[in-house]
Structure 1
Amino acid sequence: MKPTFGYRDDAADIKELAEALGVELFSVGCESAEFSLILVDETGRFFLLHHTGGYYAGDSDFDAFRRFIEGEMLPDAEDYFV
């Protein structure tokens, strides 16, 4: 069995993003319009994992929700790599 959360190889992509960020990531949902995975790290920061790459969604659930509602462009997750 090969687990998947939303698209092909997403479990491996989550692991790769977590290693680059230097934190554990947990899948907490899926954005249905683009099938992006919603991830949160151990400090409470939110990230989106899209087929085009990882994106930083916000410092908290309120920040991430605000950015989503306002349609704010999300910065690349690589800006937060260690």
Structure 2
Amino acid sequence: MSTGPAREEIDQLLAAAGWHPARDMSEKVPELTEFVISDLAAHDCQLELFPEAEAFLRSYGFLTVEFPYDAERADTFNTCARFCSDKAEEISELMDDLQRSVFPIGWDKMENGLAVMTPDERMFYIHHSGTYYAGTGIHEVISSLYTGNLQPIEDYHV
């Protein structure tokens, strides 16, 4: 099992992507979330923006975090998920399984997986191979995606 990068390394990845403590993307969040909600609703997936997801997107939304694996391979995690209707069924199933809301907060380019969060800031990763627990908060989700250290969702149902 891989150990994740240190918090300082994740902070460096976030800073390189343009994040800083005073960052505020409030002007972009309404358009993004309205699109996501209506696009998913058109695919029979009903969800609502909750305060924790909105706060996440205000601070971390619209970043492209690069995972520099080596000189020939890099992956990115984008901290907004505009087009996620192809995962509508999986999102609905996850909400049913967890008995709580989720909201899409990011996707990774290489695997085309979708990261969603719950109101208690737990992050789950929806991938073509299944759904996984990715941690709580930005540092844990980036660490999990960077290392591929995702946990089976069965261990994290409420």
Specify the alignment match of 2:84 in structure 1.
Answer: 5
TM (norm. structure 2) is 0.45
Distance across 1 between alignment mates of 2:155 and 2:90: 17
Deviation at 1:14, TM superposition (A): 0.3
- The one-letter code matched in structure 2 to 1:46 is M
Distance across 1 between alignment mates of 2:143 and 2:107: 17
Give the conservation status (yes or no) of the 8 Å contact 1:40–1:46. yes
What aligned pairs does 1:59-74 form with structure 2 within 5 A after superposition? 59-69=136-146, 71-74=147-150
Q: Gaps spanning 5+ residues in structure 2: where? A: 1-38, 44-82
Deviation at 1:72, TM superposition (A): 4.3
From 92, 103, 125, the counterpart of 1:26:
103
SS of alignment partner, residue 18 of structure 1: helix
Q: Which has the larger radius of gyration?
A: 2
- What is the count of residue pairs matched by the alignment? 79
Moved over 4 A (4+): 1-4
TM (norm. structure 1) is 0.81
- Indicate the percent of aligned positions where both proteins have the same amino acid: 29
RMSD between superposed Cα atoms in Å: 1.9
